[in-house]
Chains A and B, each alone.
Chain A
Amino acid sequence: MVDSKNKWKAWLYLSPALVLLGIFTVYPIFNTVQLAFLNGYNIWEAMDGKMFTIGIDNFVKVLNYPGFLTTLKTTILLCVLTVPVSTMLALLIAVALNSIKALNRLLQTIFFLPYVTNSIAIGMVFATMFNMIGLDPATGIPQTAGIINNFLSIFGVGPVNWINPGSTYEANMFVMCVYIVWNALPFKILVLLGGLQSVNKQYYDAAKVDGTSRARVFWRITVPLLSPMISYVLITGFIGGFKEYSSVVGVFGEGMGPTGDKELQTMVGLIYDSLGEVGTGEGFASAAAMILFVIILAVTILNLKVSNKKVHY
Chain B
Amino acid sequence: MKVVLEHLTKIFPSRNKKSNEQVVAVNDFTFEIPDGKLIGLLGPSGCGKSTTLYMISGLQKPTGGKIFFGEDDVTELTPENRGVGLVFQNYALYPHMTVKQNILFPLQNLKGEDKLTKTVMLERAYEAARLVQIDDLMDRKPHELSGGQQQRVAIARALVKMPRVLLLDEPLSNLDARLRLQTREEIKRIQRETGITTVFVTHDQEEAMSISDMIVVMRLGVLQQIGAPQEVYDNPVNLFVAKFLGTPPINVFEGVVKGEKLYIGEQAVLDVKGAADQEVYVGIRPEGFITNPEGEFTTNLINVEVMGRDVSIVSKHPNAVSETIRSIVDADSAIDRDATTVSFSLKPHKVFLFSKETEQRIPFEVK
Known contacts: A202-B90, A205-B92, A225-B96. The answer to whether A210 contacts B59 by CB under 8 A is no
B contact residues, range: 20 to 34
CB pair B80 A208 closer than 8 Å: yes
Nearest chain B residue, comparing its CB with the CB of A311:
B96
Known contacts: A209-B59, A209-B86, A213-B109. The answer to whether A312 contacts B96 by CB under 8 A is yes
Q: Let me know if B285 is at the binding interface, CB within 8 A.
A: no
CB pair B81 A203 closer than 8 Å: no
* B97 CB to nearest A CB, Å: 8
Against A, the Cβ 8 Å flags (1 = close, 0 = not) of B107-126 are 01111000000000000000
Q: Which B residues are CB-close (under 8 A) to A224? A: 94, 96-97
Q: Interface size of A by Cβ–Cβ distance < 8 Å?
A: 18
Q: Which B residues are CB-close (under 8 A) to A200? A: 90, 92
Q: Which B residues are CB-close (under 8 A) to A73? A: none
Q: Which residues B70-114 have CB closer than 8 A to chain A?
A: 78-81, 84-86, 88, 90, 92, 94-97, 105-106, 108-111
Q: Which residues B15-67 have CB closer than 8 A to chain A?
A: 57-59
CB pair B88 A210 closer than 8 Å: no
Nearest chain A residue, comparing its CB with the CB of B59:
A205
Task: Work out how many contacts link A and B, with CB atoms closer than 8 A.
Answer: 59
* B96 CB to nearest A CB, Å: 4
Q: Which residues A191-243 have CB closer than 8 A to chain B?
A: 200, 202-203, 205-206, 208-213, 216, 220-221, 224-225, 227
Q: Let me know if B152 is at the binding interface, CB within 8 A.
A: no
Q: Which B residues are CB-close (under 8 A) to A211? A: 78-81, 106, 109-110
Q: How far is the CA of A286 from the CA of B106 in the complex (A)?
A: 57
Q: How far is the CA of A312 from the CA of B96 in the complex (A)?
A: 6
In terms of DSSP, what is the predominant structure of the interface of chain A? helix
Q: Which A residues are CB-close (under 8 A) to B105? A: 210, 212, 220
Q: Which B residues are CB-close (under 8 A) to A202? A: 88, 90, 92
Tell which of B90, B111, B161 touches A210, judged by Cβ atoms closer than 8 Å: B161
Nearest chain A residue, comparing its CB with the CB of B167:
A209
CB pair A206 B92 closer than 8 Å: yes
Can you name 12 extra interface pairs (CB under 8 A) apart from A210-B161, A221-B94?
A: A202-B92, A203-B92, A203-B94, A205-B59, A209-B79, A209-B84, A211-B78, A211-B80, A212-B105, A213-B111, A224-B97, A225-B95
Residues of B within 8 A of A (CB): 57-59, 78-81, 84-86, 88, 90, 92, 94-97, 105-106, 108-111, 157, 161
Q: Which 9 A-B pairs have the closest CB atoms?
A: A211-B80, A312-B96, A210-B106, A202-B92, A224-B96, A206-B92, A209-B79, A209-B86, A202-B88
Residues of A within 8 A of B (CB): 200, 202-203, 205-206, 208-213, 216, 220-221, 224-225, 227, 312
